Structure 1
Amino acid sequence: ALTDRAGAQPWRTTPVSEPFALAQYQDLREDEQLSQPAFVPLDGGLTVAADDLAVEDEAGLATPIAYETLVIDPTRPPERPKPGYVLSAAVLERVARFGAAGQAPARTRRRTSTAVTR
């Protein structure tokens, strides 16, 4: 069960099932790959009841968000990881509302213009 930092009542959660391509996560022989569906429903996460979740817009972002790009291609030799890249505050501010967190009911029911600080 998920609880808040103070250890108060647990949040109401619901499991979320998502389609997964097992061959991407498990080593399967060719006959196993061909005998199974391409995608199988598996637990992919949880939803939290919006009323149980409080979002502090004033908390701000204390550290840059760095992204890493990995190319997984079994037909090519492995590449060395490339240095990560960091979105500028201006780009992050413009795209954040379109992601899953920006579209969450807890965000959309009280949409305000929130500034991202550097």
Structure 2
Amino acid sequence: MTWLILAGAIVAEVAATLSLKGSQTHPAFYVVVAVGYVVAFACLTLVLKRGLGLGVAYGIWGAGGVALTAVLSWLVFDEALTPVMIVGIALVIAGVLLVETGSSEPTP
């Protein structure tokens, strides 16, 4: 359940961030921005209360948000998604995976 809540935090944050772009022409999207960020932080708080480490939770939330926002910006707003950006996204995700696997050191 913790991972589903974290996924919800990512989706809410990405919806809010994408709505920032939409609010340039449709100010009503500011409501989605505000609600999305409140939901994202509330979900992130729940994840932390459930015991997921801050570094892991924030890393996954941040990396997932960056990756999803870049891809959806490309699909929805026709923004650039270059091969170099794709490599950068892959490196960010790899870094978060290393933080995740490193956070659970085996006990002797």
- Higher share in helix: 2
Give the TM-score range, shorter chain. under 0.3
Q: Which has the higher contact order (CA 8 A, sep 6+)?
A: 2
Query: Bigger radius of gyration, 1 or 2?
Result: 1
